[in-house]
């Protein structure tokens, strides 16, 4: 029997009186893209932060490769390969694309506070960075400063940085945001292949992307999973249409 790489059970989190994660169960299997959708404020980002260790859960369990990782902090989870894609805001604008990926690869080696001069000359890090940039199709932009990259290129660079962390799973929070049609369809093609390297827990508002990519979809409303299934099941679920797609349940 295939075991899930990631398994959440009874996961709960409140901010004061606001229950943002309400006894959530969720599994992520090898090779799978599992999309998490739901209206604004449903608690999607909070759930990813709980998994990545950026927020501490109030109750419930997070198992990764069969081990309970609830007590591990964010850097310890990152070292296990539980990687959240970087946000554009965390890119270093004055570094080249390659420099940013090298920085991510360096972070994986737990020496994030080493000297940048040394990082720049490390042939292994340079090789890893070039390889990751090649995977996302940014090789030709390797030496270009981040501040000169387009928005779409920055999103690809975030994924190259995540690749350099050698993830066991990807946690992606709205990777399509701000991309035009061409950028989105490129990224969809890329993510479709990426799932074979590591499964993806994908938060995304772009429903075309979700319906194209997701093997399974979980619908989160007010911190609770209200439905789960394949794309067609979710598209046709009256409760989902009412709660999320804004249609009458009739
Ligand atoms: N650190 C915090 N302290 C208090 N409330 C918070 C905190 N972080 C998030 N919230 C609240 O928790 C709720 C869920 O937020 P979250 O960002 O997880 O939702 P989301 O589904 O990702 O929304 P969106 O689709 O708009 O990104 C929101 O009402 C938000 O205001």
Q: What is the pLDDT of residue 247?
A: 60
Mutate to test the pocket of ligand 1, among 45, 87, 171 (most ligand atoms within 8 A of CB): 45
Q: What is the pLDDT of residue 120?
A: 65
Q: What is the pLDDT of residue 214?
A: 96
Find the helix or strand (DSSP H, E) in which 21 lies.
strand 18-28
* pLDDT (average), residues 114-133: 76
**Of 121 and 202, which is predicted with more confidence?**
202
Lookup: tokens for 158: 């975030």
Q: How far is the CA of 42 from the centre of ligand 1 (A)?
A: 7
Lookup: tokens for 179: 């991309």
The average confidence (pLDDT) of the chain is 88
Q: How far is the CA of 46 from the centre of ligand 1 (A)?
A: 6
Is 54 near ligand 1, meaning CB less than 6 Å away? no
Q: How far is the CA of 41 from the centre of ligand 1 (A)?
A: 5
At 103, the pLDDT band (50, 70, 90 cuts) reads confident
What percent of the chain stands above pLDDT 90? 56
Q: What is the pLDDT of residue 250?
A: 44
Strands 169-173 and 82-84: parallel
Quick one: how far is CA 91 from the chain centroid?
A: 16
Q: Which residues pair with 90 in a beta bridge?
A: none
Q: How far is the CA of 26 from the centre of ligand 1 (A)?
A: 19
Asked if pLDDT for residue 243 goes beyond 80, the answer is no
* pLDDT (average), residues 165-183: 87
Distance between CA atoms of 155 and 177, rounded to whole angstroms?
9
At 90, the pLDDT band (50, 70, 90 cuts) reads confident
Predicted TM-score (pTM) of the model is: 0.88
pLDDT digits (tens, 9 = 90+) for 2-18: 899 999 999 999 999 99
Asked if pLDDT for residue 45 goes beyond 50, the answer is yes
Return the DSSP state at 242: H
Q: What is the pLDDT of residue 56?
A: 95
Contacts of 120 (CB under 8 A, 6+ apart): 99, 102
**Ligand 1: residue whose CA is nearest its atom 25:** 40
Asked if pLDDT for residue 180 goes beyond 50, the answer is yes
Q: ipTM value of the model?
A: 0.95
Lookup: tokens for 34: 């599992």
Is 46 near ligand 1, meaning CB less than 6 Å away? yes
Distance between CA atoms of 20 and 42, rounded to whole angstroms?
7
Is 213 near ligand 1, meaning CB less than 6 Å away? no
Q: How far is the CA of 136 from the centre of ligand 1 (A)?
A: 30
């Amino acid at each position: 029997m295939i075991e899930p790489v990631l398994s959440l059970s009874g996961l709960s989190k409140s901010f004061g009186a606001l229950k943002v994660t309400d006894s959530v169960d969720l599994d992520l299997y090898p090779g799978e893209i599992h999309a998490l959708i739901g209206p604004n404020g449903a608690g999607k980002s909070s759930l990813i932060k709980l998994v990545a260790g950026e927020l501490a859960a109030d109750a419930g369990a997070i198992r990764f490769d069969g081990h309970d990782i609830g007590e591990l902090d964010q850097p310890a989870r990152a070292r296990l390969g539980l990687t959240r894609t970087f946000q554009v805001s965390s890119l270093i604008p004055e570094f080249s694309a390659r420099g940013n990926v090298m920085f991510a690869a360096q972070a994986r080696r737990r020496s994030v506070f080493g000297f940048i001069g040394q990082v720049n000359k490390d042939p292994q890090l340079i090789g890893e960075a070039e390889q990751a940039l090649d995977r996302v199709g940014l090789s030709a932009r390797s030496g270009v400063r981040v501040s000169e990259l387009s928005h779409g290129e920055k999103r690809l660079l975030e994924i190259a940085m995540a690749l350099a962390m050698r993830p066991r799973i990807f946690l992606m929070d709205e990777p399509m945001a701000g991309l035009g049609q061409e950028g989105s369809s490129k990224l969809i093609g890329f993510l479709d292949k990426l799932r074979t390297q590591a499964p993806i827990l994908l938060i995304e508002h772009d429903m075309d992307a979700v319906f194209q990519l997701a093997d399974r979809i979980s619908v989160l409303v007010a911190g609770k999973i209200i439905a789960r299934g394949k794309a067609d099941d979710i598209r046709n679920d009256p409760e989902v249409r009412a709660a999320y797609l804004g249609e009458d349940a009739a």
